[in-house]
Chain A
Amino acid sequence: MSKDLIRLVDCVMVFDDDVILNSINLTIKNQEFLTLLGPSGCGKTTTLRIIGGFETPTSGDVFFDGVRINDVPPYKRRVNTVFQKYALFPHLNVYENVAFGLRIAKTREDEIKTRVNDSLALVGLLGYEKRRVHQLSGGQQQRVAIARAVVNRPQVLLLDEPLGALDLKLRKEMQAELKAIQKQVGITFIYVTHDQEEALTMSDTVVVMNNGEILQIGTPQDIYNEPINAFVADFIGESNIIDGVMIGDCDVEFSGRRFECVDRGFDKDEPVDVVIRPEDLTVGEGGGQLSGTVSSVTFKGVHYEMMVDSGGFSWMVHSTLSQPVGAAVSLSVKPFDIHIMRKGKTA
């Protein structure tokens, strides 16, 4: 992690009166794996396309290595893209697809051969040179798309939901592989996804976006453990979000009871969102802070997911021990697992 490579300053994007991006400010460091995460329509792909040069921001500036590149066309940027649907050239075989950028750059034939072979080796596709694109599986096409991009030795690789079309198992494999490739080639990856688990697994930095705005920037741990508002908490992992009122510092009331927490600096009687992760709730058979009834139990592999109705709210609880449906149980939570968020806070 070193110097700043890309900077977006007050980038605004408006299409037909729709505000797609609302004043985005983002700094991307050299060699980091940064993920733009958010629901569809949040502006993450537009942000990526601005960096790739496929869109020009309505206002605001894009800097690459300190140089303003708003008006630099894609073919002059030291950035390559792995497209969502791969966009491989159907009239060329695997070798020629990967060699495309090098041929445009009029690279010597022997160097093309070495670099294409290196790239194909990187993605594990040696021996597939002569195949036509449509003869490849989705996962193989994905690898060709990655090889075609990295063979040009870009400073930045942009990836637009590259694993979206793959099945779960393949996606997991490719996640690990992409991370390994990024380490090996040592360049910046900017990755767009709506899959929070993917973002947490692969990234150095996660940028959570919604409605054209950046909500939170941080390491996966920061984002998961200290979500800045209820939206981020809900989007990253599963959460119980319940209305509460601050009684004072480290003192919050929700579900008809007062709880000790660790948050300070709120107004007295300020309405807040209280966020508690399902795995932070402990189920007991009495003596806890809340009491309720188990309304459903679902086996999830590693844990059971139980819904516990208590005081009109349905709590989601993750536990390795299950309770039968209809059982009267108690719930308890530790003070530092209660996350207090201001209502409607965005950044």
Chain B
Amino acid sequence: MSRRYAFPHVGWMAVFVVVPLVLIVGFSLTSADGGVTLDNFSDMMKYAPVFGRSLWLSLISTAICLMIGYPLAYVMSREKPAVAAAALMLLMLPMWMNFLLRTYAWMSILENSGFLNQLLNVFRLPNVHIINTEAAVVLGMVYNYLPFMTLPIHTVLHKMDKSMMEAAGDLGANSAKTFMRVVLPISVPGVISGITMVFVPGVSTFIISRLLGGGKTLMLGDLIEMQFTGNAYNPYLGAAISLVMMVIVLLSMSVMNRFGDGGESAVVL
């Protein structure tokens, strides 16, 4: 294969990946008056709680997605092809609707006088206050990112040779041991992909926290957005925050990939 066929790709990567990265690094080291400075990074310290909350909420969301997504993917992979295809369809269907629309829908469901509480009223149950809490943000994130957890796990489980499970049974393992010693270890690459695909966008999410968290639960994505579009206009600080966030994400990914057993590393999007 001749290398010259790679030039379009190299060009694409240069324009859309390398140049923006260089710009971000440049901006993050620039002060408002154009001089070189590290102030942007030291200023960031006052936003430590936002960093903490972002990481914490996306960690919780990722954990919940894994707890729901893995069993879902497991059940789907064992179903007949027709049933599995229907389940996959149901899982993907919401993804084809506009993300903003879906989040607004959750707003009206969770509102104090929203659909959920009206439903509780019908059954004379006490109302719940969810909207504008961290719980609502987590719910919104889990709802949005669940397919990204389920699909890679489903792919791995689906591709797994079913005779592997028969072999484990044949060698004396009951179904619990078969799962723990064969199915789970083999599905690790899928789990890592899933975690990556939920955690990374989770950390930088911004609309969900604003709409469902009511602005009280500011997350990194919101903070960065504010630096570019809000009254606080400060692209230099925004670039610095983006850079630090990227480093955090890359660090967590390299830790994750270590569990991938060296050979099969996770798909990082």
Q: Which residues on A are within 8 Å of B, measured CB to CB?
A: 52-54, 73-75, 79-81, 83-85, 87-91, 100-101, 104-105, 132, 148-149, 152
Please, how many angstroms separate the alpha-carbon atoms of A104 and B167 in the complex? 13
Asked if B177 contacts A104 (CB within 8 A), the reply is yes
Q: Which residues of A contact B263 (CB under 8 A)?
A: 132
Known A83-B167, A87-B167; judge A75-B185 contact (CB<8 A).
Answer: no
Identify which of B92-100, B129-137, B158-166, B242-250 touches chain A.
Answer: B158-166
Tell whether, in the assembled complex, residue A105 and residue B167 are in contact, meaning their CB atoms are under 8 Å apart.
Answer: no
Tell me which of A91, A105, A152 contacts B186 (CB under 8 A). Answer: A91
Stretch of B17-25, B168-176, B199-207 with 4 or more beta carbons under 8 angstroms from chain A: B168-176
- Kindly state the separation between the CA atoms of A84 and B161 in the bound complex, as whole angstroms: 12
Q: Is the CB of B186 within 8 A of A101?
A: no
We find that the number of chain B residues with CB closer than 8 angstroms to chain A is 20
Which residue of chain B has its CB nearest to the CB of A134?
B263
Give the tally of cross-chain contacts (CB within 8 A): 63
Measured between C-beta atoms, what is the minimum distance from A130 to chain B in Å?
14
A85-B163, A87-B161, A87-B164 known; A74 vs B186 contact (CB < 8 Å): no
A271 nearest CB across to chain B (Å):
46
Give 8 nearest A-B pairs by CB, closest first. Answer: A101-B171, A87-B167, A87-B163, A74-B169, A104-B172, A91-B185, A81-B170, A75-B172
B168 vs chain A, min Cβ distance (A): 7
Instruction: Out of B170, B172, B182, B188, name the residue touching A89 (CB < 8 Å).
Output: B182
B59: shortest Cβ distance to chain A, in Å? 26
Q: Which residues of chain A come closer than 8 Å to B173, judged between CB atoms?
A: 75, 100, 104
Q: Report if B33 contacts A (CB, 8 A).
A: no
Hey, which chain B residues are within 8 Å of A104, CB to CB? Answer: 171-173, 177, 181
What would be 11 A-B contacts, judged by CB atoms less than 8 Å apart? A52-B170, A54-B169, A54-B170, A73-B174, A74-B166, A75-B174, A81-B170, A83-B166, A89-B167, A91-B186, A104-B181
> DSSP majority for the B interface?
helix
Known interface pairs A87-B163, A89-B164; A75-B169 also in contact (CB < 8 Å): yes
User: Which of chain A's residues has its CB closest to B169's CB?
Assistant: A74
A73-B171 contact in complex given A90-B186, A91-B185, C-beta closer than 8 Å: no
- Known pairs A90-B186, A91-B261; A100 contacts B171 (CB<8 A): yes
- How far, in Å, is A302 (CB) from chain B's closest CB? 38
Known contacts being A87-B161, A91-B185, A91-B186, is A101 close to B166, with CB within 8 Å?
no
Specify the chain A residue showing the minimal Cβ separation from B174. A75
CA distance A83 to B169 in the complex (A): 12
A152 touches B261 (CB 8 A): no
User: Contact between A152 and B161 (Cβ–Cβ < 8 Å)?
Assistant: no
CB of B163 within 8 A of CB of A148, answer no
> What residues of chain A lie closer than 8 Å to B186, measured between beta carbons?
89-91
**Known pairs A79-B170, A85-B163, A100-B173 / 7 extra A-B pairs, C-beta < 8 Å:** A74-B169, A75-B171, A75-B174, A81-B167, A87-B164, A89-B167, A100-B168
Which partner residue on chain A sits nearest B178 by CB separation? A75
Q: Which residues of A contact B161 (CB under 8 A)?
A: 85, 87
CA of A87 to CA of B169 in the docked complex: distance in angstroms?
A: 12
State the Cβ distance, A84 to closest chain B Cβ, in Å: 8
Q: Which residues of A contact B174 (CB under 8 A)?
A: 73, 75
Q: Is the CB of B166 within 8 A of A54?
A: yes
Q: List, in ascending order, chain A residues with CB within 8 A of B261's CB.
A: 91
Q: Mark B138-169, 1 if CB is under 8 A from A, else 0.
A: 00000000000000000000000101101111
A54 to B170, CA, bound (A): 9
Q: Mark B58-84, 1 if CB is under 8 A from A, else 0.
A: 000000000000000000000000000
Residues of chain B within 8 A (CB-CB) of A89 are 164, 167-168, 182, 186
Closest to A148 in B: B171
